[in-house]
Amino acid sequence: MGKLTTHILDTSMGMPAREVEIRLYKRNDSSQTLIKTAKTNEDGRCDEPLLSGDIFQEGCYELEFIVDQYYAKKGIDCPFLKDVVIRFYISSNDENYHVPLLISPYGYSTYRGS
């Protein structure tokens, strides 16, 4: 069985983004179900996979990263990005899926990592 993981790097500060709230949703047609919430640790990662075992299933998912709270704690006004939502698809439950987020107050990027 595979697993889903993520990490967040703050490219504006050149460091991991600590204590960012993450929400994972499973999408079905036009509805979504909250699967899990987590916060990043000192390394910008979650302490455990967001999905693994029997709940790691094929389908459409969304990761929601609450970045405005992260920047507010650092005293940075972030009026452009309040949250970042990444929609992606798991097509094989035998593979690992890693969805990193690179953020700054005015932009972000992502990719399928390893």
The total number of structural domains that make up the chain: 1
Pairing of strands 8-10, 15-16: antiparallel
Identify the domain containing residue 77 by its residue range: 3-110
Give this prediction's pTM: 0.94
Instruction: Output the domain CATH number for residue 30.
Output: 2.60.40.180
pLDDT tens digits along 4-48: 999 999 999 999 999 999 999 999 988 999 999 999 999 999 999
Closest alpha carbon to 24 in 32, 16, 13, 35: 35
What is the structure's pLDDT at 86? 98
* CA-based R_g, the chain, Å: 14
Cα gap 6→42, rounded to integer Å: 13
Please tell me the total number of residues recorded for the chain in this structure.
Answer: 114
Q: What is the mean pLDDT of the chain?
A: 95
Cα gap 98→4, rounded to integer Å: 6
pLDDT tens digits along 50-79: 999 999 999 999 999 999 999 999 999 878
